[in-house]
Every structure is written in structure tokens, then in C-alpha cells.
Structure 1
């Protein structure tokens, strides 16, 4: 392995004390609820300093588990490997975490940043079980490139600065999806209130005012879906389920076919432009959702849906979804749900009674056109954000890789040769660490010889 000048290769177990966490007895309630952080893998999701944790220990609870001093580095070693953090106060962890108490001769932030690169090694070395595990012995063998102490300070400072900038970019990117969600909601609110096409109506006053109507006045035919899950007479037909839709859009590749008779096919067949309403679901966010069927007229639907065929001379199916899936229309449908045994159900009577204002068919067409244009614009931004998030994610690892190849401090090394060689080099540093570890080891007690 090529190392920068003055660096040395070591193992994590040689650079500090390795401590595996433990959970205090849950049979003693007094162990929990104090002010001492009790770190679990979920507390390491965002890395960095650990100021607060979901669970805490009392002094009594801390007495029964290994203690961690401030600036210990915690690493998940069971399950989702390689999540890390730094303690800020006396703390403890559960058994899914191995921690390093770094030698006082090291810059702990240098070691923290290095451990952030270890996830691939941990995954490669994990025990071949259903749950990935790195035990204390294996973790102690993790390879570490050790820079001279003066260069460790330089690297830690540079990484703190660069990664803070990356985190700032990531935070701004992560905020955009919620902004786009609010944008889409505001577009739909403007669409169903008439504000989106206010300018259009000024030029088309002959198409009249929006008229109050019940959804039931638009229905030509409706019915619940087929309940049977198999058949032995007729021919195979695709019967759509909720699994065939994602975010109210059709997804292909996992369809279920059922043998249906011609009578059943005619009763449950779907036509292009039909509206499918989720009749029953465990989530109040999904029950009552409207979906426009855009298919080939040869498919049927299961009893988790209600089908509505509407008069397309009066209303566009897409426009109806703007009313029913957001705003006041969605609020009405949610309030119409009945709940039993964890399932939320809506019936045709409640749906038929939904009231709203309906513009002319020509204005509906203009509204749908404008909404789709704006949504396409939002979708384009969202995709660019996802691409940027992926690049930022890789950027963090790229910066860390450069740091531990010595590239971030190459100029500094060339300007400070006296700080990376001889007594200031990493080999000498490792020797001091080892000498300190030997000195700190308690001497074994000598057994007294019994007098004859």
C-alpha cells in the first residue's frame, strides 16, 4: 500500500481502547430516563457529535454498562454497518455498536473522519449471516492510515471545512422536494379555484361561470370491483390491484391474471378514462384516492376499488382528480372514511355527495394543460435535484478519499518536511502510543506464597 511521506499503517485496536456496548437490564426501570446519552444505531443516522439521544440512562444504569468518555468514536457493527458519531459527554451504547476511545496522542477528529471511510471494509469483513456482524476482535483489525500528528490537525481542519460546505449544499438540496410539493399543491389549489385560468376567462367570457355540482351528477355507471382471487371458467384477464399503481400512476410488471367468465369480464371491465377510487386501505392517505385509468380496455379491477364512469361531455377525469386528491375535496373524502379493524373504507354514497364547482369543458382542458406543463417543470427540477443529491453523496466520499491519500495536504507536507519525519513522523507517533498503552496496563497482582 502506497503511503504519503511520513505516514504509517496501523490497526484501529492499536490506536485506542475498543469498547463494545451493552444494554442495562430493562427489568430495572430506574436504569433509564436520566440525562446520560444511551446511543443506538438510529442516533448515528446523521453522524457528527452526539448531543442528544432518543433513550437516556441514569447514573444507576451507567454503572452496569461500559462507559465512554467524551470524544469517543462510535461505529455500528451489527446490521447497517459503518454509521458513526462522536460522544460529547460521558455516554454508553447498546451492543450493536463498537466504540474507539482514541489515544491522547491522536487527533480524534482525524480518526473520526477516517472511520467514515470504513463502511466498505466492514461490509466485506462481516460475518456471513442473515444480519451483518463485525465483532470486537474483527473490528480491532480495521486498517488505518496514520498521518503525523501535525498533519492530522491539518487534515481534520480541512475536512471540517469542506464537509461543512457539502452538508450545507445537501441541506439546501434536501429542502427542495418539500418546496416542490408545496408548489404542486398551490398549482392544484389555483386550478380548482379558477385562479390558474383567470386570464384565460377574461378572453373567453362566453363560456360562463363555474357551476356548483355533486360528483353524483357526473356518473354514468359505477360499481365495486371483483372479490374473487381465482377462477376455472372463461379466459385470463388482468385484474388491477393497488400494487399496480404508485402515486396514482400505473406501474407495470407485476400484474395478476384471473380466469373470468364473459359475464364477469363485461361487468368489471375498465374503459379508458374511468376513475378508480381506493375503497379500502389501512392508510387514510390512500383510502379515497382517485386514479384515472389509462389502459387498453381489456382489464378488470379488484374489490379494493370502486369504478366510476363519468360523462366526458361534462367533465375531464384528470380535472376531477385535481379536486378530489388535494384541498377541500380531499379533506371531505378523508372525513367520510369509516374505520374498522385498522382499515379505512369509503362508500359510493359519500363519494357521490362530494360538492364542487365545475367550469366549462373547454376551461377544464386549458386547466389540465397548464397544470401538466407546471408539473412537468417541477418534475424536471426534482430529477435534477436527485441527480445533484447523488453527486453530493459521492462528493463526501471523494473528499475523504483525497484526504487519506494525502492529496489535501500535499503542499503542506512539501512546506513542512520537519513536521512529518523523524520524531514527528507517524512511526514515532505509533511508538509513543504503544508505549503509553503498555504503561497504562495494570500490572498483574503477584500471588503471595503460603508459608510452610
Structure 2
């Protein structure tokens, strides 16, 4: 930080705080139930979702903490983890931060979670293996505002980060919604519901597999299907190919294994060669136009279509469809098919389905023309889910960075500047599947929340009325190089939200939305842009 806010001090961490490591009593002293004369032993796992309460004799020599104390994880994957809210004796994997009265607990907690503290801690070469000590932290910086400012910052962070946490909770629901949407599409596709209207106009289609229709499976009657449809055994819908070959003969061939396929979606996650994967044992040869199905743990639902040739794991089946390949892939991805295969899996340690059992699985088959129409419709609908998933991944990545962006601003002293409050992220996803309507929609919006006074409470007060600072060489250079200003000037009549600025492909100089706040603030100060609206409706346009 080049310049500290008034009243702030830059100190070394250990000049302000002491670090007290925990103690490790022998396991022979552990009991699992509370007892008089015993004290709770706090371990890293006790601060997670699955605590394991442990109690040890209270001999008066233990390192203890209160619920208000802050502990830091010292070892392995838990290095830097901030723990608080429990009292007891803490073990050697934790260290307590002893603070003076002029440091606010809330401010300290957020500081310890910020990259200002976490980044140098992660760079300690010895921390993961041997744990850090007080000397290791002696070079770390600590930004110390006056106590009242500390409390004010902590309160503001409580409010802002609670909104981020709420957005994260809503965002975390999207993968489940997407999975349900995909399965609802596949269920409609393989039951005839998706093409109900289509059949009314195409009732003359003939099913060429009618002679192979079956009425029951595993001693039970199969569900009713639309006119012209019927169930056939898998062996009548596809051929399972077995063509084992020595991988050493084709080191540059593509190698597919179950871990290369995403569960439930049919997506291939990565393509690697036989040599890159270090393949040694014989593998199945597969060809373009086939389906690759993982027989290991069939409940994981790993199946994909390939338009290239290569080798696949011996734990997978290359499958050649006798019906429309895309339609058969949809059947194999459906919950109904997975339920059938999961019931037939053998072995307990490593479940798998053999060829004999797979060949008996019932496959619902419509006439060929309807298979093509189903493949077209499902492709369109699942493509919408793909768009939503990409937006979800982008939003998640942005949200993951947002906490640190807000914390960084807090410890620069910028948290209360007009353009530094936070972003509010709203998500909406809806999907419906039936014969006449199939939709998947997603709306993602990130709005700037400003502390600028509203015109209804302060007469004639608007941020765009700020007087321009006198132009100098530095300001002229900033105006010349500002990517935000260039974007807004491409269409002076159009106003844009911060999210629109952030997402545009014309900008490639910003890593986080936080940087845009800084640039917008300066552009407003120089009177080069104007702000329209306040709060979540804020937009900006060039003057």
C-alpha cells in the first residue's frame, strides 16, 4: 500500500500479536463423552461439518481458548484456516492469536482471512509440513486503523459478505437444478412425451424393430409406451464390440478411461494419448460413430459418443448403435436406464455390469423418423443447459474472487468510498419440459451498489455533477488509455452497468470487477462520464 489513510499505521504482525501453539495430549487420555474434571479438546475437524467431540483431563496446564478467540490452522491442507466460536483446549495443529485490547476481534478475523495475510503464509516453504511459528510471521505486514475504524470496517464487512454468502448459497443450487432439467428432458424424450404433438402430424411412421418388441423385463411388466413405440432388449438396439489390442502399437492414439467422462452429461472432460496416460495393458479399439460406456460403477452414468477413433479402458464397452446413435445415447443417459443397470451390477467391492446383463436391459424405441426428431429436440434443449452451465461457472469464478476483492479494498482503507461498496449478484434459473414447451433460462446480473446520496434526500446532489479536476499530463494520459472510457465512447447514447462493462469482450485489462470501480471513480472525478441512477440500477455513459 503506497499511502495509508489518515490515522492508520503499518506494523509487523508479531509486533502487535503473540502466537500461542497448542498442546497434544496422548490418545490414551481421550474420552468421547463430557465428564467432570475434563475439558473439550479442539481439533481442526471440530470446526467443520462433522465434528468428533473429544475430551481430555483438565490438568490446568492445557493451552485453552474462549469462543471469542481466533485460532489458525498450522499444518497440511488446513494451513491458514481461521477457526473461532468454540472454547476448550486446542491441540498442536492450531495456534491462537493473542491480541491486545486495541485490536477489534472482527477486524482481526477478516484480516487473517484476507490475501494480505494468507498469501505470504502460503508461501512459507515449511508451513505445510512442519507448521509455522511466531518467527515465520515476523515479516508479515499488519494494517492497523484506529479502533473505531476497525469496528466500522468489521461491521461493514459483516453486512457486505453476508450478501456474498447469500449469493453463493443461491448459486450452489444451480448444478442440482441443471441435473434435474437434463433428466426431465431425457425422461420426456424416452417416454414419447417430448414428441407428443409431432406424432399427431406424423402418425404413419413404421417401427422397423417391431418384431423384437418385449413386454416384460426381469419378471415385471414394462411401462406403457405411445402408439408405434416398443421396448427391445439392448442387444437388438446395439452391438457391444470387443476388440482388445496392444496399446504399445499406437502410443499416439487417443485413450479414453472412465475418469475422462463426466457423470450424467455425456461430456468428454479431456483427451489424452495412450503414451500420456501411461497405458500398459490391452485396451478396446473404438471407432468414430460409436458410443463408449463405462461398465464400472454403472450408477455413475458415464457414457459418451465419439467421432474419432482410439483406445478405451477394458472397463468400458465400445457400442455400435442399430438405432439412431444420438437417441440411444439419450436413453443410456436417462435415469431409467441407469436404474436398470444399477440393479444388475455384480460384485460389491467394485460394481460392474457384464455384457450378458447389459444386453437384456430394455430400451424404449420409437419409429426411426421420431428418433431423429427426438435427437433434434433434445440437442436444442441440452444446448441451453450448456449455456446456463457456462454462465454458472463464470459466475462462480467471479464470486469466488469477490470476497478477496472486498477484503483487499477494506485493508486499503477504501471500503467506504462511493464506488467501493460491493456487488450484489442475483440468479434465476427455470426449466420446464413438456410436449409443447421446453425452456431453460438463466439470468445473471451484477449491479453496483453505491453510497452516493440519493437526490430525494439531498437536493441537486448527483455524482455526475462533481466538478472536473484540472487537467494535467497524468489525467490526459489516463483519458487516452482508459479501456472503460473507450468502451463507453463507442456509443455515447448507450449506458452500461458495471456487469456489462466487466463482461464485454472489448476489455481485457481487468482481472476483477474491483479494478473497474477504481477506474469509474476516476472517470467520474474527471467529469468524463456520468452516472445514471443509484444503487442496483446504476449505469454509466460517456459525456
TM-score, structure 2 normalization: 0.63
Deviation at 1:334? Answer: 0.9
Deviations 1:279-314 (A, max 9, x none): 3x3x4534x744323214xx3444222233232xxx
Aligned counterparts of 1:181 and 1:156: Cα–Cα separation in 2: 38
Q: Is the 1:8–1:145 Cα contact (8 Å) retained in structure 2?
A: yes
2:260/2:269 contact within 8 Å kept: yes
**Residue in 2 aligned with 1:21?**
22
Which residue of the partner structure matches residue 291 of structure 1?
Answer: 304
Larger Rg: 1
Equivalent residue runs for 1:196-215 within 5 Å: 196-207=194-205, 208-215=227-234
Deviations 1:204-231 (Å, cap 9, x if unpaired)?
2222521121111123x43434275546
Among candidates 350, 369, 372, match of residue 379 of structure 2: 372
1:273 aligned residue: 289
* Aligned counterpart in structure 2 of residue 405 of structure 1, from 406, 412, 429: 412
CA separation in 2, counterparts of 1:77 and 1:203? 69
Shift of 1:179: 1.1
Match of 2:69 among 69, 72, 89: 72
Query: How has the CA–CA distance of structure 1 residues 59 and 97 changed in structure 2, closer, same or farther, with 3 Å as cutoff?
Result: closer
Question: 1:332 Cα shift?
Answer: 1.0
Find out whether 1:390 has 2:397 as its counterpart: yes
Query: 2:97 maps to what in 1?
Result: 100
Q: Name 1:326's counterpart in structure 2.
A: 334
CA distance in 2, matches of 1:100, 1:152: 17
Which runs of 5 or more residues in structure 1 are unaligned?
46-51, 259-263, 412-452
Deviation at 1:140, TM superposition (A): 5.3
Cα 1:141–1:368, aligned 2, differ >3 Å: closer, same or farther? Answer: same
Q: CA deviation at 1:356?
A: 3.0
Please give the secondary structure, in 2, of the residue aligned with 1:291: strand
> Deviations 1:165-212 (Å, cap 9, x if unpaired)?
111111111211111111111111111111112122222222252112
Q: Could you say which residue in structure 2 is the equivalent of 1:441?
A: none
Gapped regions of structure 2 (runs ≥ 5): 206-226, 277-281, 419-543
Q: Tell me the alpha carbon deviations over residues 404-452 of structure 1, each in whole angstroms, 9 at most, x when there is no partner.
A: 11122469xxxxxxxxxxxxxxxxxxxxxxxxxxxxxxxxxxxxxxxxx
Residue 256 in 1 paired to residue 274 in 2? yes
The 1:253–1:381 alpha-carbon spacing in structure 2 relative to 1, beyond 3 Å, is: closer
Aligned counterpart for 1:57 among listed residues 50, 54, 57: 54
CA drift at 1:243: 5.5
Greater shift, 242-251 or 21-30, is seen at 242-251
CA distance in 2, matches of 1:163, 1:257: 47
Residues 103-142 of structure 1 mapped to structure 2, 5 A cutoff: 103-117=100-114, 118-124=117-123, 126-128=124-126, 131=129, 133-139=131-137, 141-142=139-140
Whole-Å separation in 2 of the counterparts to 1:376 and 1:164 = 34
